[in-house]
């Protein structure tokens, strides 16, 4: 069992030993550290407010209750969104003029995991510097709590998914009328979490005929919640059975988005951002950013529209930082994460769905035909499970030395660029694994390159 502390938040498995898992004591400890950081970060205020929401994980209600009651014990008021999505909480923070936000979700991880994702007053993830301050506060134990007359209070507000949808529909590039006129039929796999609430509501507001698959927010994930092809056989069958125009799948906290075409074939999680960027760039030319584990197709589409593309280190906060620096019009991550600054600086599946529908309504072509208009790259995403004795930094340094004659980027693990392919080897921020991502002109080439790297790492580590 595991407890991971990183720029992506405090993430762990439920149950087990304190300090080794995400136990109730650990949830209180890190919530208190966040509350203390909040007061240090924004001193001399009379009152503080934090927005808290959760996905539908089985442990969510327990963890949320612990977190909220810890914050009110510090004299901090809490706006409780209840069942929500990560982007909805991000949108709610500035709307509420709050000092920060916490989302209780472990994103794509299986049901035994949960996490505290921490936001600043802009509704954006904390950077590594601020995250380190919270970890230090958690370990110091020197955290003050409020006296009995100064306790915070909890206010329930369950309107924010609706408010978020209104915000999406008001975006200038979201063409509501043409989408309504297209009369799309779509199957939605909500993986029995809050995507099963938010995505159908958005689609219904756009006049889409919605077929719901696993949209009951009970936290019992019907398949591995990471939206990859091998986990989505039921969605593929449902798209074909209902003669739908396409399928939609999101992860449990609704910041990752993938599409399936009318034939039940994956559009490609990497191509979610490519398609949305193609649409946005056609209306508002400019620059793009994704992380260095994302497809080259975004670079190709950006250059086609006369813009500049640049890759950041993996991690949403790193992508956002480079997006702001380069003043990009759209960016995100190749795992289906759309970040559209005209809405907010966070991955948002609702925004992605609305932009994708606007593109389809304008082009008047099928999803499979749309996919053929983009450069054809194939990606392999594999992993190596870590054990405590593995020297990950040493392994990656050895791989760097082996490929020193190739084009290397070492800002985040080791990325090796070849003329027709690339490989990215890095330690995950969210799981105890080394991620091996490769991309090439065919699936066989991508898989072969990934297997080659895995074999080499095995030799170096003596596995």
| Alpha carbon separation from 328 to 85, 91, 105, 288, 310 (Å, rounded) | 25, 19, 28, 5, 10
**Under a CB-based contact definition with an 8 Å cutoff, are residues 87 and 351 in contact?**
yes
Rounded-to-integer distance, Cα 449 and Cα 418, Å: 11
380 given a catalytic annotation = no
Q: Are 334 and 315 in contact (CB under 8 A)?
A: no
Report in angstroms the alpha-carbon separations of 402 from 396, 399, 414, 447: 10, 5, 11, 20
> CA-CA distance, 319 to 370, in Å (whole number)?
26
Q: How far apart are CA 163 and CA 96, in angstroms?
A: 12
- Alpha carbons 11 and 32: distance in angstroms, whole number: 16
Mark 25-61 as b/e (b = at least 16 C-beta within 10 Å). Answer: ebbbbbbbbbbbbbbebeeeeeebbbbbbbbbbebbe
| Spatial CA neighbour of 249 closest among 230, 225, 273, 274 | 225
| C-alpha to C-alpha distances, 261 to 223, 224, 278, 370, 451, nearest whole angstrom | 20, 20, 18, 9, 29
Catalytic residue, candidates 84, 107, 290, 312? 107
448's CB contacts (< 8 A; 6+ apart) are none
Angle at 218 between CA 216 and CA 224, to 5 degrees: 90
DSSP letters for 97-166: T-SEEEEE--TTS-TTEEEEEEE-TTS-B--HHHHHHHHHHHHH-------GGG---EEE---HHHHHHH
Closest C-alpha among 52, 87, 82, 54 to residue 350? 87
Q: How many CB atoms lie within 10 A of CB 135?
A: 15
Distance of CA 256 to the CA centre of its chain: 5
Give the largest CA-CA distance in the chain.
Answer: 66
CA distance 108 to 248: 15
Catalytic residues, by residue number, are: 107
């Amino acid at each position: 069992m595991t407890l991971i502390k990183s720029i992506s938040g405090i993430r762990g498995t439920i149950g087990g030993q304190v300090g080794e898992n995400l136990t109730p004591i650990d949830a209180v400890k890190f919530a208190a550290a966040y509350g203390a950081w909040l007061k240090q970060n924004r001193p001399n205020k009379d009152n503080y407010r934090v927005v808290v929401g959760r996905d539908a994980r089985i442990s969510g209600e327990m963890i949320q209750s612990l977190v909220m009651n810890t914050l009110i014990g510090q004299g901090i008021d809490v706006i409780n969104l209840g069942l929500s999505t990560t982007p909805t909480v991000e949108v709610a923070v500035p709307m509420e003029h709050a000092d920060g936000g916490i989302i209780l979700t472990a994103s794509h991880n299986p049901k035994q995991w949960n996490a505290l994702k921490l936001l600043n007053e802009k509704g954006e993830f904390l950077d590594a510097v601020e995250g380190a301050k919270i970890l230090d506060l958690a370990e110091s134990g020197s955290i003050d709590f409020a006296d009995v007359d100064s306790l915070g209070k909890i206010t329930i507000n369950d309107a924010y998914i609706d408010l978020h949808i209104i915000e999406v529909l008001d975006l200038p590039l979201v063409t509501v009328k043409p989408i309504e006129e297209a009369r799309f039929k779509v199957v939605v796999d909500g993986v029995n979490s809050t995507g099963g609430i938010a995505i159908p509501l958005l689609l219904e507001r756009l006049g889409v005929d919605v077929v719901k698959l696993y949209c009951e927010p009970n936290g019992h994930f019907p398949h591995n919640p990471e939206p990859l092809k091998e986990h989505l056989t039921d969605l593929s069958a449902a798209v074909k059975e209902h003669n739908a125009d396409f399928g939609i799948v999101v992860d449990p906290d609704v910041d990752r988005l993938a599409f399936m075409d009318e034939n039940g074939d994956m559009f490609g999680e990497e191509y979610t951002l490519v398609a949305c960027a193609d649409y946005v760039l056609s209306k508002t030319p400019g620059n793009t950013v994704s992380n260095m584990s994302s497809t080259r197709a975004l670079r190709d589409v950006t250059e086609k529209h006369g813009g500049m593309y640049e890759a950041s280190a993996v991690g949403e906060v790193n992508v956002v930082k480079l997006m702001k620096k380069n003043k990009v019009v759209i960016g995100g991550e190749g795992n289906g994460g759309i970040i559209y600054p005209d809405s907010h600086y966070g991955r948002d599946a609702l925004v992605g769905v609305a932009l994708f529908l606007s593109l389809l309504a304008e082009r008047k072509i099928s999803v499979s035909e749309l996919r053929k208009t983009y450069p054809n790259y194939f990606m392999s995403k594999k992993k190596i499970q870590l054990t405590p004795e593995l020297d990950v930094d040493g392994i990656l340094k050895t791989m760097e030395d082996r490929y020193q004659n190739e084009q290397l980027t070492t800002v985040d693990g080791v990325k090796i660029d070849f003329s027709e392919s690339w490989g990215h080897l890095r330690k995950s921020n969210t799981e105890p694994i080394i991620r091996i991502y490769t991309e090439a002109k065919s699936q066989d080439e991508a898989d072969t390159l990934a297997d080659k790297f895995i074999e080499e790492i095995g030799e170096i580590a003596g596995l």
